[in-house]
């Protein structure tokens, strides 16, 4: 089975497991992680919330992951966007916005990327407060630059951690990380 199929199976199993609410997706291929997660969410939900640390970059992240222009260059927190069959609201979990949607049982909340808060104690505490407020049925956190995270305390705050390996699907990324000394 390919790495992508393994990842799809893991995310779908999480989405179908009523005993689990928060999933942390780790791994080295940021585009692959984002594409698989959003594709799986698109099959399960028609509404959702994307919380990001970078409003100016989120459309680039999503458009690059799918290799097509799904979102406009400029994203506003007061506008909803169509992603596949889903209507999504996109806003920042780092900066204050007038209203931060909390979600409900019929929608998801995706936090991407969560990198900038994991190694900063103050930002991390604020992030945990934001995470506690979420009322969505399913919550998914996606990391970036996994090799640079020193502390993995976030893993103790979630129901499941999935490491999306790309050893078979994208060996070039793995070779580059090894060559640069980022991973062993």
- pLDDT tens digits, 25-81: 998 899 999 999 999 999 999 999 999 988 999 999 999 999 999 999 999 998 999
Can you give the CATH number for the domain in which 58 is found? 3.40.50
Residue 5 has pLDDT above 70, yes or no: yes
**In terms of residue numbers, what domain contains 75?**
3-179
Q: Which pLDDT does position 85 carry in this prediction? A: 97
Residue 83 CA: distances (Å) to CA of 71, 79, 153, 176: 8, 13, 31, 32
Q: Which pLDDT does position 35 carry in this prediction? A: 98
Residue 146 has pLDDT above 70, yes or no: no
Q: How many domains does the chain have?
A: 1
Stretch among 73-77, 149-153, 166-170 having the lowest mean pLDDT: 149-153
- Top-confidence residue, 178 or 31: 31
Q: Is residue 61 part of a domain?
A: yes
Burial of 150 (0-12, 13-18, 19+ CB in 10 A): exposed
Of the pLDDT bands very low, low, confident and very high (cuts 50, 70, 90), residue 147 is low
How many Å is the maximal CA-CA distance in the chain? 45
Q: Is residue 184 part of a domain?
A: no
Of the pLDDT bands very low, low, confident and very high (cuts 50, 70, 90), residue 165 is confident
Of the pLDDT bands very low, low, confident and very high (cuts 50, 70, 90), residue 12 is very high
Q: Is residue 17 part of a domain?
A: yes
Q: Which pLDDT does position 81 carry in this prediction? A: 98
Residue 171 has pLDDT above 80, yes or no: no
Q: Is residue 44 part of a domain?
A: yes
Strand order in the sheet with 47-52: 80-83, 86-92, 47-52, 108-111, 138-142, 22-27, 160-164
pLDDT tens-digit readout, 93-137: 887 666 678 899 999 999 999 887 887 888 889 899 989 999 999
Q: Which pLDDT does position 150 carry in this prediction? A: 61
């Amino acid at each position: 089975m390919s790495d992508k199929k393994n990842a799809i199976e893991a995310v779908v199993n999480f989405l179908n497991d009523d005993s689990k609410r928060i999933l942390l997706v780790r791994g080295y291929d940021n585009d692959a992680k984002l594409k698989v997660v959003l594709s799986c969410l698109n099959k399960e939900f028609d509404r959702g919330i994307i919380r990001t640390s970078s409003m100016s970059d989120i459309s680039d992240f999503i458009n690059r992951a799918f290799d097509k222009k799904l979102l406009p260059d400029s994203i506003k927190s007061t506008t909803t966007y169509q992603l596949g069959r889903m209507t999504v609201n996109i806003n920042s979990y780092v900066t204050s916005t007038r209203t931060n949607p909390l979600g409900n049982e019929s929608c998801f909340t995706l936090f991407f990327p969560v990198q900038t808060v994991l190694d900063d104690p103050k930002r991390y505490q604020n992030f945990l407060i934001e995470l506690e407020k979420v009322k969505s049925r399913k919550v998914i956190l996606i990391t970036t630059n996994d090799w640079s995270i020193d502390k993995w305390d976030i893993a103790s705050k979630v129901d499941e951690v999935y490491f999306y390996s790309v050893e078979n699907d994208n060996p070039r990324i793995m070779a580059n990380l090894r060559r640069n000394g980022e991973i062993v």
